[in-house]
Amino acid sequence: MHMQLIRRLTYAVLLTSMGMGMTVLAESPPTHPILLHAARLLEVDTGRVLMPGEILIDGQRIAAVGTSVSHPAAVELIDLGDTTLLPGLIDAHVHLFLHPGNEGLQTVQESVPQRTILAALAAKEDLMAGFTAERDMGTEGAGSADSAVRNAVDEGAIPGPRLRVSGNAIDIIGGHEDAIGYNPAQHVLSNATYANNADELVAAIRQQHKEGSDFVKIYETGPDSMVDGAFHTPYQYSAPQLKAAVDEAARIGARVAVHATGEPGTLYAAQAGVASIDHATQLSDETMRLMREKHIPAVPTFTVFEYFMPAVGAPDPREERAQFEFKIKEFKRQIAAGIPFAVGSDVGPFPHGTQAREFELMVRYGMKPLAVLQADLINGAKLLGWEGQIGELKPGYLADVIAVPGNPLDDVRVLQQVSFVMKGGAIEKWSANDHH
Residue 104 and residue 88: Cα distance in Å, rounded?
Answer: 32
What is the average pLDDT value for the chain, to the nearest integer? Answer: 92
| Segment 215-244 mean pLDDT | 96
Please give the torsion angle defined by the CA atoms of residues 315, 321, 323 and 327, in that order, rounded to the nearest 10 degrees. Answer: 160
Specify whether the CB–CB gap between 200 and 136 falls below 8 A. no
Residue positions counted in the chain:
436
Total domain count for the chain?
Answer: 2
For residues 409 and 277, membership in a common domain is answered with no
Q: Which domain holds residue 66?
A: 2-86+391-434
- Residues 121-177 have pLDDT tens digits of 999 999 999 999 999 999 999 999 999 999 999 999 999 999 999 999 999 999 998
| Segment 322-334 mean pLDDT | 96
For residues 429 and 323, membership in a common domain is answered with no
- Please tell me the predicted confidence (pLDDT) of residue 432: 55
For residues 78 and 107, membership in a common domain is answered with no
Residue 54 and residue 381: Cα distance in Å, rounded?
Answer: 22
For residues 311 and 203, membership in a common domain is answered with yes
CATH number for the domain harbouring residue 50: 2.30.40.10
| First-residue to last-residue Cα distance in the chain | 31
Specify whether the CB–CB gap between 140 and 108 falls below 8 A. no
Spatial strand order of the sheet with 276-279 comes to 193-194, 170-171, 216-219, 256-260, 276-279, 298-299
Neighbours of 76 (CB within 10 A): 12
- Please tell me the predicted confidence (pLDDT) of residue 320: 86
For residues 38 and 150, membership in a common domain is answered with no
CATH number for the domain harbouring residue 334: 3.20.20.140
pLDDT above 90 coverage of the chain, percent: 86
Tell me the pTM: 0.93
* Predicted confidence band of residue 314 (pLDDT cuts 50, 70, 90): low
For residues 167 and 211, membership in a common domain is answered with yes
pLDDT at residue 63 greater than cutoff 70: yes
- Nearest to 98, CA basis, from 136, 44, 66: 136
Q: Which amino acid is at 259?
A: H
For residues 46 and 187, membership in a common domain is answered with no
For residues 166 and 272, membership in a common domain is answered with yes
For residues 421 and 329, membership in a common domain is answered with no
- Please tell me the predicted confidence (pLDDT) of residue 5: 42
Check the CA dihedral 105-174-145-380 and report its sign.
Answer: positive
For residues 114 and 10, membership in a common domain is answered with no
Q: Which amino acid is at 420?
A: F
Specify whether the CB–CB gap between 121 and 158 falls below 8 A. no
For residues 219 and 326, membership in a common domain is answered with yes
pLDDT at residue 100 greater than cutoff 60: yes
- Please tell me the predicted confidence (pLDDT) of residue 186: 93
For residues 122 and 31, membership in a common domain is answered with no
- Please tell me the predicted confidence (pLDDT) of residue 404: 98
pLDDT at residue 290 greater than cutoff 60: yes
- Nearest to 356, CA basis, from 63, 88, 160, 149: 88
CA atoms within 13 A on the CB side of 14: 8
Neighbours of 236 (CB within 10 A): 25
